[in-house]
Each structure stands twice: as C-alpha cells, then as structure tokens.
Structure 1
C-alpha cells in the first residue's frame, strides 16, 4: 500500500438518541494509502456514511484515533477541523448542498476565497470548465438540473486541490445517465489532482471502479478487499 494518508485505530462512534446512547461504529481499524480509491459498501444502516464522517472530522470518534495527513483529528477543536477540511479535504454529498443565492461560479469560488486564494474566480472557472459547465457559470442552483448541480458540487470540492476527496452517495439522487457521467468526472478529478478518493455507494458498478472495497455491517468492517480497478 502507498504511504497512508488516513488511518483509523480502534475508532468507535456513539451518538445520543432519545432512548439513550446508540453505538454506530465499533472498533474500526483501517488505513487508506495516498492516491488510492476506496469504496465503502454495505446495507442501509451499516455505518458507511458515519465512517465517512469520521474520516472527514465531521463526526468526532467516541473512542480510538483518526489521523489524516499526520493530524490527529480526535484532538482538534472545531475551528481547527474546519480549517483542515478547507485546506486538505473535498467533500461531495448526495444532496449537493449548494448555496441557492449564489451562481455556479460563486459557489465554486467561495471556499477558494475563504482559503485566501488570490485567483479564486479564475480557478473556479477552470474547474467548471473541467466538469463541462463553463456555459452555466452564471446560473443559480434552481436553474440547474440535478446532474448539473452535482457537477458544480464536484467542481467546488476539487477546486482547492484537496489531498483527500470524500463522496457520500454522489450518484444517489441522479438517473443512470447522469450518475455514470458523475462517476467518470469523479475519477477523472481524482486522477487529475492525484487525490485519495473515498466514497460511499450502493452501486456495485461504482464500487468495482475502486482500487479497494471495504464492506460494513452493523457498524463493523466485515471485508476489506483489494481489486483491479476497471479501465
């Protein structure tokens, strides 16, 4: 395996529910190498998205340790985690999470501006062009199709050149044709920027394109399999 960029050591996640604490993840030990593509699969409720949230510091481990790019995420406060994600991670959600009052270009440029990039809008234009949406740069999310909104979300996630790219069911709200196009773009962005790609999916076809697949059930890893990525 290439040098690990993300490591979980006996990580667990417990959340408080109305009926008391709920154990979501149990004793997760996992390393992800630089430039690797990793698919997280399993039935609904198995803990896939929760594991992705732990990896991105969006949930804090209740036990164990999560280390990303040499930083212990379990000891960082919320402000430090937010800065780390801004500078080192890109996150793509199933529901896009675009800012409705901003154009496609502004949505992509905003995280670059927050990070202090001098040519935020120039880079944002280049990223929109890379996902085939330069002609929609001045349109608002409500004026875009679901597939186009997800392309904007991909451009926004990749624009800061993150070393780690996380995707939670990126094709879940799209039809087959748009989903396939998003998958091609996702792996293309990974290849173009050399990022490590970790994605949650129910799609066997999408999982088959990954270098490695981790299967979860009831909050535990039940299988960790390296495979040949599809051409």
Structure 2
C-alpha cells in the first residue's frame, strides 16, 4: 500500500533546566493510506511528541518526516501551517476550542481560513454528523466535555483532511462519552477516507486500530508491536 506518512531515523531532543533531554531516539515507521495506527505506551514514552512531529507542530532534531510526499523537515512555519490547513485534522485531549466563538464558528474557522465560500454550510453539516446540530449557537462554556470534544472532532473533519491525528481524544471523558467519541472518530475516518493516527491509553480504542505500535523510553518497542 502507498505510504502517506514516513519517518526515517527521527530524533527529538529538547532543552530543559537540567540540560538537553532526549525525547525520541531514532524512530522509523511508515503509515499506509487509509490505515488506522494506534500509538500506545506508558506516560512519558514519547507518544504525544511523536504525534506532534507527524503534524509538523514540533520540529525533529534530526531525521526526516515525509507526509503526502512533502518533506515536513525542511518546511518553514508558514509552509507547515499551510500544509496542515490543507491536509490535516488534529484533535487534542483538551479540545482547544475558542471560548468566544459558538460551536458553528469554531468549526467554520479553519474552513474560512482556507478560503471556502461555503464554510458555514459545511460547518453545520459536520455538527449534524456528530449529533450537535442543535448546539450550533452555543459557546464552549455552555457545553459538556463530551460535547466540546464532538465540536473539536467536527472542526478537525470539516476540511476533509487526508490525515487525521488525535492525541488522547477520550482522555478527559467518562466511559459513555469516550465510547461515543470513539464511534464518531472512526465514523469520520470512514466517511472522509482519512488516514488516522491516534495516541491513546484506552485498550478499547487501540483494539479498533488496524495496527498498534508501543513506545517505551522514546523508542519503538518492537517486541510489543502488533498488527491485526
């Protein structure tokens, strides 16, 4: 299958008060078009850092990252922002909604930035798809955590991204809301044909992925890698 995301010997080291801290050590992996990849491992193993590198939200210290045949490693910040806007949807554990905007405005914003004339119509369609059409005019403070995460999913999916990245999308939710978000996440993937990479501690969510990679101490734990 065609690889849409490729990492070659990727390393990440960040400065701290204690000096240089090695976060990731020579990560090499490929993600196929249409695949769902789960990244699991203990806290501090580098899962979220790896996802941020895949999304161009953090820069690798060395190695190369290619997404959709574009070398993210050498793109400037404007180029990375434009690439994400046109090709990626990102869902965070803490929602990151704009508090002064309604649900509809939050979902429409990336579409407006991308120049879509039908931004609000598409935003309304995505809110309906996640069961929140009736909450379009509500602000984040007026919604539950589960509802806010649904809005975040709608916002990520609205531009029809080729790559969908999710960092602990059920981490702040109770069991029932977490299950609903899982169903919506995979439903959006199927509806738009996106490749999905997600970080999770949830065994139930990992079990639904095509392939699971475990990280330990900033390295791929090959002894624990599993394919379904």
TM-score after normalising by structure 1:
0.97
Matches within 5 A, 1:1-231: 2-223=1-222, 224-227=225-228
Find the aligned partners of 2:218 and 2:25 in 1 and give their Cα distance. Answer: 6
Instruction: Tell me by how many angstroms 1:19 deviates.
Output: 1.2
1:167-225 CA-to-partner distances (Å, cap 9, x unmatched) read 00000000000000000000000000000000000011100000000000000001332
TM-score after normalising by structure 2:
0.98
Find the aligned partners of 1:217 and 1:226 in 2 and give their Cα distance. Answer: 18
Find the aligned partners of 2:187 and 2:117 in 1 and give their Cα distance. Answer: 25
Find the aligned partners of 2:52 and 2:99 in 1 and give their Cα distance. Answer: 24
Find the aligned partners of 2:69 and 2:188 in 1 and give their Cα distance. Answer: 23
Find the aligned partners of 1:127 and 1:99 in 2 and give their Cα distance. Answer: 17
Query: Runs in 1 of length 4+ with deviation above 2 angstroms?
Result: none
**Consecutive unaligned residues in structure 1, runs of 5 or more:** none
**Consecutive unaligned residues in structure 2, runs of 5 or more:** none
SS in 1 for 2:131: coil
Find the aligned partners of 2:199 and 2:41 in 1 and give their Cα distance. Answer: 9
Instruction: Tell me by how many angstroms 1:226 deviates.
Output: 1.2
- What RMSD in Å do the two structures reach over aligned CA positions? 0.5
Find the aligned partners of 1:125 and 1:152 in 2 and give their Cα distance. Answer: 11
Find the aligned partners of 1:203 and 1:147 in 2 and give their Cα distance. Answer: 16
Instruction: Tell me by how many angstroms 1:99 deviates.
Output: 0.1
Find the aligned partners of 1:141 and 1:204 in 2 and give their Cα distance. Answer: 29
Find the aligned partners of 2:65 and 2:206 in 1 and give their Cα distance. Answer: 23
Find the aligned partners of 1:78 and 1:20 in 2 and give their Cα distance. Answer: 26
Instruction: Tell me by how many angstroms 1:108 deviates.
Output: 0.1
Find the aligned partners of 2:71 and 2:64 in 1 and give their Cα distance. Answer: 7
SS in 2 for 1:186: helix
